[in-house]
């Protein structure tokens, strides 16, 4: 397995300026965009939220939205009925329990409808700058290919990466792994030629 030092060194070379690709200007927007991003590209979510964020500016705005109308507004992101239910439900809890503010604790974030550890970690690391490991399908794939984990379970992968990567690099490194998986180490057609991780990849030679 690649050492933590080499892992971080190569990630910094491959993805020197990692950033969340969901457009947002506050934690509420990031929360809503992240919920919408499930099974949907960030590019499509950004097109939907461009208008959405102009209309809904607070948790109270979302909580008071008409369900049918909101479903129509987010329909392009897919699974819109479930996403609408979760977003409006999360907004209601934010408004009633947290004064309309997005909390900065894992337990409080995951108490919101539709918010699991992945979404919570996006908020914690991406906005509040807390140590957080985001595990999505790209992070899972790359982590397995590099031998950083042998698990398929997101929570176990999160734990395995936390053991390997220093806490002050959790957010940066997991975002780097995510972007590396999204654009280079793809599921079906990974760009292996010239990949700096090629010698450490457990899946090399399969494509």
Tokens for 109, please give them.
């974030």
Rounded to whole angstroms, the Cα distance separating 136 from 180 reads 12
Cα dihedral sign, 86-87-90-95: negative
| Residue from 83, 136, 160, 200 carrying the catalytic annotation | 136
Based on the residue annotation, tell me whether 144 is a catalytic residue of this protein: no
User: Are 43 and 49 a contacting pair, CB within 8 Å?
Assistant: no
Residue 29's alpha-carbon distances to 130, 161, 164, 174, 185, in angstroms, are 18, 27, 31, 21, 29
Based on the residue annotation, tell me whether 136 is a catalytic residue of this protein: yes
Burial state string for 51-84 with b = 16 or more CB within 10 A and e = fewer than 16: ebbeebeebeebbebeeeebbebbeebeebeebb
41 alpha carbon, distance to own chain's centre: 11
Q: Which of 163, 157, 155 is nearest to 181 (CA)?
A: 157
| Residue from 9, 105, 118, 168 carrying the catalytic annotation | 118
Q: Which of 95, 10, 11, 15 is nearest to 59 (CA)?
A: 95
For the chain, the first-to-last Cα distance in angstroms comes to: 21
- Residues annotated as catalytic (active site), given as ranges: 118, 136
């Amino acid at each position: 397995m690649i050492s933590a030092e080499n892992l971080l060194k190569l990630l910094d070379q491959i993805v020197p300026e990692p950033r969340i690709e969901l457009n947002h200007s506050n934690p509420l927007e990031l929360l809503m965009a992240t919920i919408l991003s499930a099974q949907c590209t960030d590019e499509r979510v950004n097109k939907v939220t461009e208008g959405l964020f102009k209309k809904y500016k607070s948790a109270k705005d979302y909580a008071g939205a008409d369900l049918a109308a909101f479903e129509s507004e987010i329909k392009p992101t897919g699974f819109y009925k479930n996403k609408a239910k979760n977003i409006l439900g999360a907004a209601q809890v934010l408004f009633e329990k947290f004064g309309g503010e997005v909390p900065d604790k894992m337990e409080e974030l995951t108490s919101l409808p539709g918010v699991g550890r992945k979404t919570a970690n996006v908020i914690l690391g991406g906005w509040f700058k807390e140590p957080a490991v985001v595990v999505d399908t790209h992070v899972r794939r790359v982590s397995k290919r590099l031998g950083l984990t042998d698990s398929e379970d997101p929570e176990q992968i999160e734990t395995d990466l936390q053991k390997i990567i220093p806490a002050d690099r959790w957010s940066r490194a997991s975002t780097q792994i995510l972007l590396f998986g999204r654009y280079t180490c793809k599921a079906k057609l990974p760009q292996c030629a010239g990949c700096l991780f090629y010698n450490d990849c457990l899946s090399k030679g399969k494509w």
